[in-house]
Structure 1
Amino acid sequence: MTQRPELLAPAGSWEALVAAVQNGADAVYLGGKLFNARQSANNFDHDEMARAVEYAHVRGVKIYVTVNILLANHELEEALGFLHFLHNTGVDAVILQDLGLVRLAREVMPELPLHSSTQMTVHNLPGVQLMQQSGFDRVVLAREMDLKEIADIKKETGADLEVFVHGALCVCYSGQCLMSSLIGGRSGNRGRCAQPCRLQYQLVDEGGRNLADPSKIGEYLLSPRDINTSEMIPQLIAAGINSFKIEGRMKRPEYVATVIRTYRNLIDRALADAVNFRVAEKEARDLAQIFNRDFSPGYFLGNPGKDLMSYKRPNNRGVRLGRVKGFNKENKTVEILLEEPLRVGDGVEVWVTEGGRSGVEVNRILVKGKEVSAAQPGTLVGIAIPGKIRPGDRVFKTHDADLMESARETFTSTRETRKIPLQFFIRARISEPMYMRVADEQGFSADGYSQEPCQEALKRPLTKEFLQEQLDRLGNTPFALGGLETDLAGSVILPMREINELRRQVLTDLEQKRARADRRPGVAEHLFKERLRGAIKSIRQTDPPEPSPRLSVSVTDLRSLEAAVRNGANIVLFGGESYRSKGVVSEKDLQAGLEFCHKNGVSMLLNSPRILHDQDLKGFTAFLERVFQWPLDGILVGNLGLLKIIKNYTNKPVIGDFTLNCFNSATLHYFKEQGAKRVVLSPELTLKQVEEMAAVTPIPLEVLVQGALPLMNTRYCPVGSVLGGLSLQNKCAGPCNRQKCGLKDRKGLIFPLEVDQYCRMHLFNAKQLCVIEDVFSLLLSGVSVLRIEAKKENHVYVAKTVNHYHGAIQRFKHGVRDEGKDKEAKEELEQLSLSGITKGHYFRGVI
């Protein structure tokens, strides 16, 4: 039997919640006022949350609450208190990103179901298995996975899987984007993304020269189209996906109403007849009209390359209305031959030849000189639109008044759209109270008796037909009359006010039973506090390891490795991930690097890719089986799937990379339990937060101190898509080999990009992180290892940076703080970055 997937709707406001429920959602995800990744939405306070849960549960809809951001140490207790409140309020699950909070939640609130956020970047089989092992009841997969990968994971694990099927796409793997954070101070991992991916960029070479004509290609090189899988519903069901998630907590309720209604109908039809399934023309038009940046199927069919992107427009396109035919000088209107209906109140926008866009709300339509309220396709109409408009310019309808009004009706009317059919039974006897019983399809029932007894009817006794007509008047309740069975003895009657009051009482009782259904027992306050004290105490009373200051350097070529070793590096991270501009690191290179490091008394750790889809993982683990026969000193692990399986290949030390988003002390304990011997802290932490974590850390800590930090890691490659012609139909021509490229923004800053051996893009900050003046403070805080991130740099850069940081560490070891030398080093390091340097978040943070 085909499994019925859950339709999961977004709600950023009460109106959106009602829109979701009334249009057919099986579940709704929403956020509280704190700790969620859509801080700009209205969200729900505690009273509204309780009201939302009751409203949804009465109507058979589940509520999932997003607590999906990284949390600092001082927030953990409050976040756990929020989870306690949510559990006792009756929410069906919470969606989490922070692994430290997950660990504590399993200890403090084991009764509460957990869903892993897409922010956790779970994109392979062992990653899903680790989430199951960590206590998650559902895994929300990365948006970059295709249908085969998902189906294979489902078959192998049986996990409850959730995927996004419609709405806005992040261009970066979720949870791996630092762009908004590092260039604007607004962290996506903290729910405050400023969406710099929707701004203009040009693809340039190392010297800043354009590699593609922006006027032809477009300038929005990081702005994806919206995902739309409406035509793929049968395939999504066949893949075994449990929950179809609609993106849109920042969208208006009319959007939620329209998209949920459409997908509800599509899913139901696909379940009834997958063979003859198709999307109706009106359904496709409604989805496009309510909001689109153009559509794509995302990655479900493979890597779509340029077909994923909306290069010429980062916001709503609307639906094409037609082209400008001319200008009527007499009535000063633009003449358009309609391809879609148009009415007064609609919004239109012209893509003008010069000057961008020109939009207006239509308040007057002329047809052959006469004013009309609406016009059909094929009609030549005149409307007043400002701007320099020319014949041939395209016109789009960006706002459809009829569609908006019909959507709005579903969440503003007191009459409910979504009705639960009830079976009524009525028994009436003269001189006895009337008995009424109602039952729904889920097996819930309620019954009761009238206050007054029935009387003998002198004229018009009760009949089944009369009762059916009266009981069907359930307008502003969530119920509808599904059927009626009666047992009427003799000529019996009861005043209608009594029947109505009995019906009200019985339905109220039924509502309460439905609201309490499947609700887990609450956790008493004293028990919660007892658990909380124990959990928090366990992460605060750790004797930290004695720090031994060392310098770590990440490189991707042999000359840079040698430069790092010669200039004082203690640890070199090499191999595993390569950039095409430099050439792939071979096993021969790796062996040569290992010999050089050990000859000079330096440790060498194998680097590993941040992203490893299952197909990549097979090749990488085969590589591991070969190279772990060598005397490597450990491995740097940057994704959860590899962390899960690495113990199968080696007993060498495992270091958790910064891409695992370690933001609090509880997360340190989680990674220690997973076998990590050292952890690289999140670059979004302040120096003060680093000090707090170092004071109680159970394992040594490493921090990033120098280099162009990666802002994004994407499956989409702008070089291959723009220059290499990559699409679902065409393979990439490989223009990235031995070529360095970048993305230039509106201010002229160039963000370097590299393409790795798996054809994924790494976008780096234009400004280099440089905290040479703060080495003393960092080491004083208790950090063990300072890391120079130089994978994209050359040997000259490596030699200079390593030399300066080695010198700073030596001064610390001798207790010498030389501000003059620090300043001199900073000035020299600043010369290595054309766009300048930054201290990142060490002194500003993201909280």
Structure 2
Amino acid sequence: MELLAPAGTMENFMAALESGADAIYLGGKGFNARAHAANFDMQELGEAVRLAHILGVSVYVTVNILIGDTELADLEYYLQELESVGVDAIIVQDLAVAQIARRVAPNLHLHCSTQMTATTLDAVRFYESLGFTRVVLARELSLKEIEHICANCKAEIEVFVHGALCVCYSGQCLMSSFIGGRSGNRGACAQPCRLPYELLNSKGVSLLPKHEAYLLSPKDLNYSEHMAHFVKAGVTSFKVEGRMKKVSYVRQVIGTYREILDKATINDEQQQALATGFNRGFSTGYLDDSVGRHMMTVVAPNHQGKPIGKAYVKKGNVYLELDEPIVLGSLVKILQTNGSITYYTIDQDWFCINPLLYKSKPKEGLASGPMYLASTPKEAKSRGLQEFSRKYNITMYLMIGTDGAKQYTELTAMLDSGLSVTVQHEYIPVLANKVPTSLEKVAEQLGRLGNTLFQLSYVEIPNGEYMWPASVLNALRRDAVEALEVMLIESHVKSWHTLQVYNTNGSYPFAAKTALDYRDLPIVSVVVDEVEGVQTAIAGGAKKIIFGGDRLQRLPYESSVYKTVATLCNDVGVYCTFTTPRVIKDDEVEVYKKTLQYIVNANPTSIAIHVPQALLWLQELGYTGAIEANTGLNIFNTPTVKFWENLGMSSIAPSQELTLQQISALSKHAQAPLEAMVHGYTEMMISEYCVIASFVGTGSKVTCSMPCVKENYFLRDRKGEMFPLRTDSYCRMHIMNSHEMDMRAYVPDLVKKGVSILRIDGRQMDLGRLKHIITEYVCILNGTIQPPSKQVYDEPITRGHYFRGIL
């Protein structure tokens, strides 16, 4: 059972140690998903690991971004450095990192990041088979799902229990990337979910008051009341988000969770302590499957603060009626009924009527409403080890040693645990001529442990009026401390080496049994989610149909649809590929397997997977056909391409964040054909939360009246861009890009750079227009018409990331 703390700086690291963390996760100067945190250079990291290991605390380094081919050499060196300074584990998103780490830094344990979207027991089993010792589950899982996974897997399970939430499934978000070129998968997310949006219906009418604008901004996670349930379920690690937070947040939140875990209870005082730390309000919606409007900040996306009373206006004055006293200099926030927020600094301009009531005519204006404590005056600078409180008690025994007739001085230092060391000094004890060294003087010298992680609790010295020089006592103390530190570090490292690493032989029994031999490449493929779309795509000249998966309609398919689609394709010699959804939750697996059985029975040309655990399901169902790797797998570099090729994938659809130049580099090493989207609306987000259900429906998905089946809805941002909203048969929300991708002008360039299968996403597209677009791509490929001009069209379009890299 582990309390896992965040640390973005050394100051925060020390606060996490002192507050009782069992493990700390942090980022180095590169390759991590908090690129804008201060992070640790290698010297700082080495010292942090040393201090942590002395205290028996583990250190995990985030290497949780997608890695480009040009970074692989630097990555190898970085991983070797991490191993050399004693890092316990790395947190990984990209399978290339895991492969390289096992080769060049085998002592680093592999933890599967939440960016890998592990939502099922079988996802955990898949990562176990790759040698991962721990999996960080997706934050969208319910308590029931977490319990099921913990009870049936071998790997350790880590769960986020506190801190900021992403509205999108982690690892599946392209919104920041496509809007501004700052990718969450590369650690540079600009958090567009925290910006204001309007919700519009199909007529363009705004449906909500202007102050209810933060429709995608979730409240923070707070599972403090459910810790006993997690412990009972078998969760190994309780993770607190916050590498970008202040030291006061780390100290407050980690210290409080330490108390909750140690006492196995939670009280009002602890709840209030958590509310004092940075938060946007708290939510537990995912844990009991009550996803809805109540999980969003709606009115304000920033720090809510601790509720401490109310403000009201009377005779031109603002009165602050407090539930508890506050410190002069504190900043309070008033949330008014019209949605506006007013901040007041409680300074000398406020008249203190009594400790719970203040009065003023503030220059910020008159405001009334609920009041929150936004911040208190800045704390003092961080302390060094001199005042560090989490220290070992140490008992020291000064003794006279003998070696035959020769005497010497020795010191035994023992911890409360019984761990002890004995060190020697050549000094021969002698009786004092005048004043012997007192016990107090010996204790004073041996007790100079301020800059260490030890504190003296008891000293014993030999009987007799001996002289003990300070230099001898100091040397003995230093040697004893150093020896204890070495023993404690070695003990920690040894305990890590006993953790089981699963399959490491590189053989995977769930590899595809059959390879699809694509002929007459390049070809056009079309993603559709209706039978009429299949017929249109075939009529337009598409040679490959991709069907199923995330149907962008709320109602599910009839089971017979797969046989119908396969027959339509087979009758005209068109490749028929059925695809999995990008997200399947643990409680949906058994139902989805029935759908997958219908897919297998339809005998398609191939099945494309967005989730790796689908390999296990297909094996279980006895499927022996071709399998293809889809975009949900976030394939970003050559080693990951090779990994999936080794599992028998018949084609690779790499990450949609790659440039054309990067795709070209992949194609030079790939054996399987590369498939890339060239036309349609890119999915920016997939979310368990639904704006439509929350603000047009009943406010909750559980009792939703499904307004999404009656008309279409859109989000409009502050720049006027319109993002279509779609829902799938699992009641998940998909946010589509505001601009349609159109690469007709670049078809020859795409083919020249190694794209063999040009994918058009025709879901939700007018069928007449879809046929026209497909026909144009086919004709350009065949050379019967010339590609259009590369100049920007009159209608707003996007070229995606083909010519614009990401941060």
CA gap 1:454/1:710 in 2 versus in 1, 3 angstroms: same
1:598 paired with 2:594, answer no
CA RMSD across the alignment: 2.8
1:348 maps to amino acid: V
2:688 to 676, 698, 715: 715
Give the Cα–Cα distance (whole angstroms) in 2 for the partners of residues 501 and 823 of structure 1.
76
Kindly state the Cα deviation for residue 715 of structure 1 after the two structures are TM-superposed.
Answer: 0.8
Opposite residue 792 of structure 1, the aligned amino acid is Q
Deviation at 1:507, TM superposition (A): 1.4
**More off after superposition, 616-625 vs 352-361:** 352-361
| Residue in 1 that maps onto 2:647 | 674
| 1:539 matched residue in structure 2 | none
Deviations 1:94-148 (A, max 9, x none): 1111112222322333332111111111111111111111121211111111222
1:239 to partner: Cα distance? 1.3
Report if the CA contact (8 A) 1:208-1:744 is conserved. Answer: no
In structure 1, distance between residues paired with 2:338 and 2:551: 44
| Residue 425 (structure 1) shift | 2.8
Change (3 A) 1:68 1:450: same
**Superposed CA offset, 1:270-325 (max 9, x none):** 1xxxxxx223x332222112211000125222243222211111010112232223
What TM-score do the two structures reach when normalised by structure 2?
A: 0.91
Q: Distance in 1 between matches of 2:315 and 2:453?
A: 53
Which amino acid in 2 is paired with 1:421?
Answer: N
> Contact between 2:687 and 2:732, CA under 8 Å: does it hold in 1?
yes
Q: 321, 335, 346: which is aligned to 2:319?
A: 335
Q: Does structure 2 conserve the Cα–Cα contact (< 8 Å) formed by 1:429 and 1:492?
A: no
Match of 1:7 among 3, 7, 12: 3
Q: 1:302 to 1:712 in 2, by over 3 A?
A: same
Say whether residues 1:35 and 2:31 are aligned partners.
yes
1:566 maps to 2:565: no
Counterpart of 1:839, as a letter, is R
Distance 2:417 2:541 in 1: 70
Which residue does 2:347 correspond to in 1? 363
**1:658-673 map, 5 Å:** 658-673=631-646
Show the counterpart of 1:385. Answer: 362
Cα 1:448/1:623, change in 2 over 3 Å: same
Gaps of 5+ in 2: 496-516
Q: Cα distance, 1:200 vs. partner?
A: 0.7
Match of 1:480 among 455, 459, 462: 455
Note if contact 1:306-1:725 (Cα within 8 Å) is conserved in structure 2.
Answer: no
Q: Give the CA deviation at 1:461.
A: 6.5
1:655-679 alpha-carbon deviations (Å, 9 max, x no partner): 1111110111111111122232111
Q: Which amino acid aligns with 1:323?
A: K
For 2:12 and 2:188, the matched residues in 1 are separated by: 21
CA distance in 1, matches of 2:337, 2:600: 61
Q: 2:266 aligns with which of 273, 278, 296?
A: 278
Q: Counterparts of 1:683 and 1:559 in 2: how far apart (Å)?
A: 27
SS at match of 2:218: coil
1:560/1:794 contact within 8 Å kept: no
Matched residues, number: 782
Moved more, 219-228 or 668-677: 668-677
Structure 1 residues 212-227: aligned runs within 5 Å: 212-215=208-211, 218-227=212-221
- The change in CA–CA distance for 1:101 and 1:546 in structure 2 (over 3 A counts) is farther
Taking a change above 3 Å as real, the CA distance of residues 314 and 33 of structure 1, as seen in their structure-2 partners, is: same
What is the deviation of 1:181?
A: 0.1
Matched, 1:503 2:495: no
Letter in structure 1 aligned against 2:301? P
Q: Residues 693 and 700 of structure 2 are in contact (CA less than 8 Å); yes or no, is this contact kept in structure 1?
A: no
Where 2:214 maps in the other structure, the secondary structure is coil
Letter in 1 for 2:799: K
* 1:837 corresponds to 2:797: yes
Q: Which residue of 1 aligns with 2:509?
A: none
The code of the aligned residue for 2:109 comes to P
Given candidates 318, 329, 336, the residue that maps to 1:345 is 329
CA-to-partner distance for each residue in 1:733-763, whole Å, 9 max, x for gaps? 3222243212111122211111111111111
Assess if the C-alpha contact under 8 Å between 1:711 and 1:763 holds in 2. Answer: yes
Verify the 8 A CA contact 2:2 2:23 in the aligned structure 1. Answer: yes
Q: Given the alignment, which residue of 118, 125, 134 partners 1:122?
A: 118
Match status 1:396 vs 2:372: yes
- Indicate conservation of the 8 Å contact 1:225/1:308, yes or no: yes
Give matches, 1:99-498, under 5 Å. 99-215=95-211, 218-270=212-264, 277-279=265-267, 281-326=268-313, 334-352=318-336, 356-364=340-348, 366-367=350-351, 376=355, 379-383=356-360, 385-390=362-367, 392-401=368-377, 405=379, 411=383, 414-428=386-400, 432-440=407-415, 444-450=419-425, 452-456=427-431, 474-482=449-457, 486=460, 488-495=462-469, 498=472
Q: CA deviation at 1:496?
A: 5.3
CA pair 141-224 structure 1, distance change in 2 beyond 3 A: same
Q: C-alpha separation between the residues in 2 aligned to 1:110 and 1:119? A: 22
| 1:613 CA drift (Å) | 1.3
Partner SS, residue 260 of structure 2: helix
Alpha-carbon separation, structure 1, partners of 2:147 and 2:699: 25
Counterpart contact for 1:556–1:585, Cα < 8 Å: no
Q: Post-superposition shift, 1:242? A: 0.8
2:755 partner amino acid: V
* Residue in 1 that maps onto 2:594: 622
Stretch of structure 1 that moved more, 704-713 or 469-478:
469-478
Partner of 1:758: 730
Structure 1 window deviating more from structure 2 (502-511 vs 768-777): it is 502-511
Alpha-carbon distance in structure 2 between the residues aligned to 1:206 and 1:102: 46
Contact in 2 for aligned 1:303/1:716 (Cα 8 Å): no
Identity among equivalent positions (%) equals: 36
Query: Does the 8 Å contact 2:158/2:235 carry over to 1?
Result: yes
Q: For 1:459 and 1:347, how far apart are their aligned partners in 2?
A: 64
Alpha-carbon offset, residue 482 of structure 1: 5.0
Q: Which residue identity is paired with 2:266? A: R
The 1:451–1:367 alpha-carbon spacing in structure 2 relative to 1, beyond 3 Å, is farther
Residue 688 of structure 1: aligned partner:
661
Question: Residue type matched to 1:52 in 2?
Answer: A
Superposed displacement of residue 47, structure 1: 1.7
- 2:560 counterpart residue number: 588
Q: How does 1:49-128 map to 2 (within 5 A)?
A: 49-128=45-124
Contact 2:168–2:687 (CA<8 Å) still a contact in 1? yes
Q: Post-superposition shift, 1:591? A: 2.5
Is 1:741–2:728 an aligned residue pair? no
What amino acid is aligned across from residue 295 of structure 1 in structure 2?
Answer: F
Structure 2: how far apart are the matches of 1:603 and 1:354?
56
Shift of 1:603: 1.9
> Structure 2 CA distance, aligned partners of 1:558 and 1:670?
34
After superposition, the C-alpha distances for 1:693-750 in whole angstroms (9 at most, x for unaligned) are: 111102111001011100001111111122222449x532322224321211112221
| Cα distance between partner residues in 2 of 1:794 and 1:684 | 27
Q: For the Cα contact (< 8 Å) 2:11–2:382, is it kept in 1?
A: no
> Which SS does the other structure have where 1:724 is aligned?
coil
**1:458 CA drift (Å):** 7.8
One-letter identity of the residue aligned with 1:337? E
- Quick check: 1:353–1:389 contact (8 Å CA) kept in 2? no
CA shift, 1:457, in A, is 6.0
Confirm or deny: 8 A CA contact 2:252 2:274 kept in the other structure: yes
Match of 1:525 in 2: none
Q: Which letter does structure 1 place at the counterpart of 2:320? A: I
Q: CA deviation at 1:256?
A: 1.1
Partner of 2:510: none
Q: Which runs of 5+ in 1 are unaligned?
A: 271-276, 370-374, 522-543
Contact 2:559–2:598 (8 Å) recurs in 1? no
**Hey, what's the Cα distance between the residues in 2 that align with 1:586 and 1:30?**
48
Q: What is the TM-score when the length of structure 1 is the normalising length?
A: 0.87
- Are the counterparts in 2 of residues 23 and 410 from structure 1 also a CA contact under 8 Å? no
Q: Distance in 1 between matches of 2:776 and 2:541?
A: 9
Which letter does structure 2 place at the counterpart of 1:447? T
**Distance of aligned partners of 1:382 and 1:640 in 2 relative to their CA distance in 1, 3 Å threshold:** same
